[in-house]
Amino acid sequence: MKNRIIVLVGSIVFWYLFFVLGRIAFLLIQAPSQAGFTFPDALNTIRYGFLLDLSMSSYIAIFPGLLLFFSSLTGPGYMVPFFRVYQAIVSIIISLLLVVDISLYSYWGFRLDATPLFYMGNLKAMTASAGFWTWFLGFLAVGVLAFVVYKLYMMLFIHKIRSLSKDKLSLFISPFLLMALFIPIRGGIGVSSLTISSAYFSSNQFANHAAINPVWNVAFSITESKDLEKRYIYFEKSRMNELVKPMLDQGEGIIPVLKTDRPNIIFIIVESLTAKAVGVTGKIKGITPNLDSIAKEGILFDKVFASADRTDKGIAAVLAAYPSLPGSSPLKYQKLTENISFLPKILKKAGYTSSFIYGGTLDFANYRSFLIQAGFEHFISEPDFRSDQLSSKWGAWDHIVFDRFLKETPSEETSFFKTILTLTSHEPFDIPVEPLMKGTDMESKFLSSLHYTDMAIGNFIREAKQRTWWNNTLVVIIADHGTKIPGNSGSEDFFRQHIPMIWCGGALSKSDTVIHTISSQTDLVATLLSQLNLESKEFIFSKNILSKKPNPFAFYTFNEGFGYLSANDFMIYNIVTNTFTHSTEDKDSELQQQSKAYLQLLYTDFFKPAMY
């Protein structure tokens, strides 16, 4: 009996200590770039991460516990090979998750969860953010770590397992030991089971993130969708509708800015086009000279905020005026997106043809199914480019994609809506020209890649001006999402969400105009449709920025909550702790309730096919 207890308890302690060492490794790699993170914070990550670490360690011990129970009947016999196979699998999986978590945090700004599973359909796209040596060293690290962990575990416990014998006392006591595992698994004996909120202890978001056990977080996030209703239902339906009514006001009247209500329309959705790096909206000059010049020729919307933090979420916001739930994406739910409205479908009814042009694969993150549902009729993507044009990790360079657009759009073409999605300014920020910035750090490489994309856009606009269709064309340039660089903005920081939007083209009746109205990425649809004299009320999350009486606010989500910004108010709500971590309002004010009701409306609207 003694050896069985030693193996069971020892396994829990072994994995707990391994998770603590994993947290230390995470801190050593990530903490130096985090402002305001202190040594006491580091110690507290171990303290507040204790329950999650212990819970995951106890989960891992369930199967060995079952084997120890059955060995009471059979003796050690098959125990040794079972333990070897199980511990080898566990060592590989956990080592992989820890290494991936440490690697991805720099890019994503949140601990590993089920999000990567959404992108597993396309291995090439998944691995495009990093170079060969990054992946090689990553796999090497996983292999070495898994081997060391496995050998160490076997060295500590294999002799105890071999010494097991049939034992009636163990047969009686083992079931109680197994049942006892559920106490640390659920975080205690209270009414509520363990949640990620147990790791939250600081106003420094990185400190909270560091206390999270990423392996536990992956398992939890896979199943958390079952708890969405409990998480997002804050009010009775009637009260929710009452609270959100003023937020759904699309504005009164229209400020016309077009010479015609049926222009050709081109959307250019630029990868990671943060306002921080654009000269006319940020403090850094010289990175985007072409965009700065184009903004002077047309209309600059300088207070637009991205709906969320990933390209798939940005596509939903721009083309369907649909926000994302925290940590999720509309593109994940193919059946549910059949019930939302799309800009291309509205334009098709108005006589437009539509095309989507992208240098990468559309078989990533459900792009293709979403875009087909959206109503696009023609696609150009990675398979449509020659192999020698696919030198970028993500696909074809931006300038090649713009050239292909011009080739596919003859001068006599009319009544078209075409969307271009760029990709070169995505990690790993490789570019086909000499970089503007000489540094090899992430920020320098990003700014150089954005400078290259700016050059590609400038060349495209200059060439487009020579086409017959230019005089009757509106071009909208907008980002898919913001970025943490430059400046290392946190995921909840509205500076990270700040993006520019520029309207230009021969169809514009105004130039050198700046619109200062605070707005969201989702507001593009209602704003455009109002200029076309088309109805937009079905896009309930979209407002007319060019209204004579606009409704100026922006709502955005990040992995653990949402942000709300207006001229006088700024607040951040954390759905893990269910608290406003930043707010200019008194506790439980009307505006705080409105912002929560807005999130509830989004949840209710998106999941209504499943709820009603």
Domain end (from 177, 196, 227)? 227
Domain end (from 548, 564, 584)? 548
The CA distance from 110 to 95, in Å, is 18
* Residues 513-561 pLDDT 10s: 999 999 999 999 999 999 999 999 999 999 999 999 999 999 999 988 9
Do the Cβ atoms of 235 and 443 come closer than 8 Å? no
Q: Give alpha helix (H) positions in 163-266.
A: 168-180, 182-186, 205-210, 214-223, 228-232, 237-244
Predicted confidence at residue 612, as pLDDT, reads: 31
Predicted confidence at residue 54, as pLDDT, reads: 95
Predicted confidence band of residue 429 (pLDDT cuts 50, 70, 90): very high
The CA distance from 219 to 227, in Å, is 14
For residue 265, is it left (φ>0), alpha (ψ between -120 and 50) or beta? beta
Q: Say what percent of the chain tops pLDDT 90.
A: 64
Predicted confidence at residue 423, as pLDDT, reads: 96
**What's the domain range around 405?**
250-548
Predicted confidence band of residue 178 (pLDDT cuts 50, 70, 90): confident
Q: Is the pLDDT of residue 224 over 70?
A: no
Among 524, 429, 431, 440, residue whose Cα is nearest residue 483: 429
Is 307 domain-assigned? Answer: yes
Q: Is the pLDDT of residue 111 over 80?
A: yes
Is 595 domain-assigned? Answer: no
What tokens appear for 395 in the block? 């696909």
Residue 489 CB partners (closer than 8 Å, separation 6+): 276, 482, 483, 495, 496
Which is higher by pLDDT, 581 or 313?
313
Predicted confidence band of residue 230 (pLDDT cuts 50, 70, 90): low
Predicted confidence at residue 108, as pLDDT, reads: 75
Predicted confidence at residue 585, as pLDDT, reads: 86
Are residue 59 and residue 115 in the same domain, yes or no? yes
Q: Is the pLDDT of residue 195 over 80?
A: no
Is 234 domain-assigned? Answer: no
Are residue 468 and residue 532 in the same domain, yes or no? yes
Is 559 domain-assigned? Answer: no
Do the Cβ atoms of 327 and 559 come closer than 8 Å? yes
Q: Give the mean pLDDT of 344-353.
A: 97
Predicted confidence at residue 130, as pLDDT, reads: 59
What is the gyration radius of the CA atoms in the chain, in angstroms? 27
Q: In Å, what is the CA distance from 522 to each residue of 358, 367, 531, 599?
A: 21, 18, 16, 14
Mean pLDDT, all residues of the chain: 88
Which is higher by pLDDT, 581 or 481?
481
Q: Give the mean pLDDT of 299-324.
A: 96
Residue with token string 């080739």:
407
Eight-class DSSP state of 266: E
Predicted confidence at residue 90, as pLDDT, reads: 95
Burial label for 163, CB within 10 Å (0-12, 13-18, 19+), is exposed
Predicted confidence band of residue 122 (pLDDT cuts 50, 70, 90): low
Q: Give the mean pLDDT of 143-159.
A: 92
The CA distance from 419 to 577, in Å, is 39
Which segment of 57-61, 114-118, 388-392 scores lowest on mean pLDDT?
Answer: 114-118
Is 535 domain-assigned? Answer: yes
The CA distance from 243 to 237, in Å, is 10
Length of the chain: 612
Residue 316 CB partners (closer than 8 Å, separation 6+): 307, 322, 323, 324, 329, 330, 331, 370
Q: How many domains does the chain have?
A: 2
Q: Is the pLDDT of residue 120 over 70?
A: no
Residue with token string 């937009």:
536
The CA distance from 284 to 498, in Å, is 14
Q: Give the mean pLDDT of 80-109.
A: 89
Domain end (from 497, 516, 548)? 548
Are residue 26 and residue 153 in the same domain, yes or no? yes
Q: Is the pLDDT of residue 170 over 60?
A: no
Among 608, 475, 605, 491, residue whose Cα is nearest residue 558: 491
Predicted confidence at residue 413, as pLDDT, reads: 94
Q: Give the mean pLDDT of 92-97.
A: 95
Q: Is the pLDDT of residue 76 over 50?
A: yes
Q: Is the pLDDT of residue 172 over 50?
A: yes
Q: Is the pLDDT of residue 41 over 90?
A: yes
Are residue 339 and residue 415 in the same domain, yes or no? yes
Output the CA torsion 409→412→417→421 (10° steps): 20
Predicted confidence band of residue 609 (pLDDT cuts 50, 70, 90): very low
Predicted confidence at residue 227, as pLDDT, reads: 46
Are residue 148 and residue 275 in the same domain, yes or no? no
Predicted confidence at residue 267, as pLDDT, reads: 98
Predicted confidence at residue 611, as pLDDT, reads: 38
Q: Give the mean pLDDT of 562-573.
A: 93
Predicted confidence band of residue 330 (pLDDT cuts 50, 70, 90): confident
Predicted confidence at residue 581, as pLDDT, reads: 87
For residue 407, the surrounding DSSP H or E stretch is: helix 398-408
Residue with token string 């200590």:
17
Residue with token string 């083309």:
319
Are residue 220 and residue 261 in the same domain, yes or no? no
CATH number for position 276: 3.40.720.10
Is 600 domain-assigned? Answer: no
Do the Cβ atoms of 456 and 402 come closer than 8 Å? yes
User: Which amino acid, one-letter code, is at 492?
Assistant: E
The CA distance from 171 to 113, in Å, is 38
DSSP secondary structure of 573-591: EETTTTEEEEESSPTT-HH
Do the Cβ atoms of 128 and 423 come closer than 8 Å? no
Q: Is the pLDDT of residue 576 over 60?
A: yes
Predicted confidence at residue 125, as pLDDT, reads: 59
Are residue 60 and residue 108 in the same domain, yes or no? yes
The CA distance from 611 to 172, in Å, is 46
Residue 594 CB partners (closer than 8 Å, separation 6+): 243, 244, 246, 247
Are residue 161 and residue 289 in the same domain, yes or no? no
| For residue 428, cis peptide bond before it (omega within 30 degrees of 0) | yes
Predicted confidence band of residue 6 (pLDDT cuts 50, 70, 90): confident
Do the Cβ atoms of 100 and 111 come closer than 8 Å? no
Do the Cβ atoms of 153 and 14 come closer than 8 Å? yes
DSSP secondary structure of 460-515: HHHHHTTSGGGGGEEEEEEES---STTTT--TT-HHHHEEEEEEESTTBS--SEEE
Are residue 210 and residue 277 in the same domain, yes or no? no
For residue 310, the surrounding DSSP H or E stretch is: none
Predicted confidence at residue 176, as pLDDT, reads: 73
Is 597 domain-assigned? Answer: no
Classify 355 as helix, strand or coil. Answer: strand
For residue 300, the surrounding DSSP H or E stretch is: strand 299-305
The CA distance from 135 to 116, in Å, is 16
| For residue 486, cis peptide bond before it (omega within 30 degrees of 0) | yes
Give all strands (DSSP E) within 129-205, no chain letters: none
Are residue 264 and residue 331 in the same domain, yes or no? yes
User: Which amino acid, one-letter code, is at 43?
Assistant: L
Q: At what angle do helices 311-320 and 367-374 cross, to 10 degrees?
A: 0
Q: Is the pLDDT of residue 164 over 70?
A: no
Among 273, 325, 326, 341, residue whose Cα is nearest residue 304: 273
Predicted confidence band of residue 79 (pLDDT cuts 50, 70, 90): confident
Which segment of 49-53, 62-66, 279-283 scores lowest on mean pLDDT?
Answer: 62-66
Predicted confidence band of residue 327 (pLDDT cuts 50, 70, 90): confident
Are residue 199 and residue 256 in the same domain, yes or no? no
Is 572 domain-assigned? Answer: no
Are residue 173 and residue 277 in the same domain, yes or no? no
